[in-house]
């Protein structure tokens, strides 16, 4: 008679073990950028890393806040190749539009493709704000900025992006109350690679030396035609975030933000573009 209780206990124990294994697998699954340790830099990264190092030491950035993250996604597992204060919240300017337009494509599909393309290519602020409110109306039946912000944060959280601390004061990036980290930008760009609308999103981003807000940038360099990136500019804020197809066929995702610099925007733009060119040369 004692055999039954013992057998029953064994069956319960086996079920618990399988249940724990199942829970563990769920806990480690995610859709965002996988946690990756920074590896020893390969020789091909040295010029780029030196450029970033010089940027950090630049006297014009002495009183500024600088943050960046570069991830190589050529292989199956992403590799962090450059990381400086990537988790610090910063004023993103118009790179914030990445979160709005990426979500809009997945919520509305083909009907918003022209709107998303114009918004990203020319960085049209009112169009981005309109898309944000439209998302709020779809998700919460209230086409307001507040509803849109909540819907946007919910959307990216479900995609595996860590939105902790992120602040959307508006839907266009004009406010200095907006706060996004370089890593959060890279995470969103990484997630978009698996979207059914990725190609549309990718092509909506200005192309260095050829289209949109980058049509005059980095012409005649290795970056021309190789960097799709959203630009961002407000007073004492300059940012870039996007994708790089290098001359050797590597695929990079990057974000680069500077806040509170002590020089003209045009000069800071040139400094950041010089670093971006070294990415394309890898």
* Tens-digit pLDDT profile for residues 214-244: 999 999 999 999 999 999 999 999 999 999 9
Q: What is the pLDDT of residues 40-99, one digit of tens each?
A: 556 589 999 999 999 999 999 999 999 999 999 999 999 999 999 999 999 999 999 999
Mean pLDDT in residue range 211-215: 98
Domains, the chain, with CATH or none:
35-280 (3.40.710.10)
> How many whole angstroms separate alpha carbon 67 and alpha carbon 145?
28
Write down the mean pLDDT value for the chain: 89
Band of pLDDT at residue 28, cut at 50, 70 and 90: very low
For 164-200, the pLDDT digits (tens) are 999 999 999 999 999 999 999 999 999 999 999 999 9
Taking CA atoms, 7 is separated from 2, 12, 13, 16, 30, in Å, by 9, 9, 10, 14, 37
- pLDDT score, position 27: 32
Q: Is the model's pLDDT at 203 over the cut of 70?
A: yes
> Does residue 20 register a pLDDT over 70?
no
d(Cα 134, Cα 127) in Å, to the nearest integer? 10
Q: Residue 67 corresponds to which tokens in the numbers above? A: 């943050």
């Amino acid at each position: 008679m004692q055999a039954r209780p013992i057998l029953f206990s064994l069956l319960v124990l086996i079920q618990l073990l399988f249940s724990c294994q199942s829970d563990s697998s769920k806990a480690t699954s995610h859709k965002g950028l996988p946690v990756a340790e920074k590896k020893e830099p390969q020789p091909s990264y040295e010029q780029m890393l030196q450029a970033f190092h010089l940027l950090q030491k630049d006297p014009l950035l002495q009183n500024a806040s600088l943050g960046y993250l570069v991830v190589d996604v050529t292989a199956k597992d992403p590799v962090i190749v450059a990381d400086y204060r990537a988790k610090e919240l910063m004023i993103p300017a118009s790179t914030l539009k990445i979160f709005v337009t990426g979500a809009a494509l997945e919520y509305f599909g083909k009907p918003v493709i022209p709107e998303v393309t114009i918004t990203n290519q020319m960085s049209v602020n009112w169009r981005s704000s309109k898309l944000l409110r439209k998302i709020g109306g779809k998700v919460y039946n209230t086409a307001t900025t507040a509803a849109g912000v909540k819907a946007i944060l919910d959307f990216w959280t479900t995609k595996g992006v860590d939105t902790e601390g992120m602040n959307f004061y508006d839907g266009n990036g004009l406010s200095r109350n907006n706060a996004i980290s370089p890593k959060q930008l890279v995470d969103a760009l990484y997630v978009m690679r698996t979207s059914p609308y990725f190609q549309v999103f990718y092509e909506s981003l200005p192309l260095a030396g050829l289209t949109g807000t980058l049509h005059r940038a980095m012409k005649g360099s290795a970056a021309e035609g190789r960097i799709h990136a959203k630009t961002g500019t407000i007073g004492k804020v300059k940012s870039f975030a996007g994708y790089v197809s290098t001359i050797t066929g590597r695929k990079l995702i990057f974000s680069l933000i500077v806040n509170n610099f002590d020089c003209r925007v045009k000069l800071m733009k040139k400094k950041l573009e010089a670093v971006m060119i070294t990415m394309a040369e890898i």
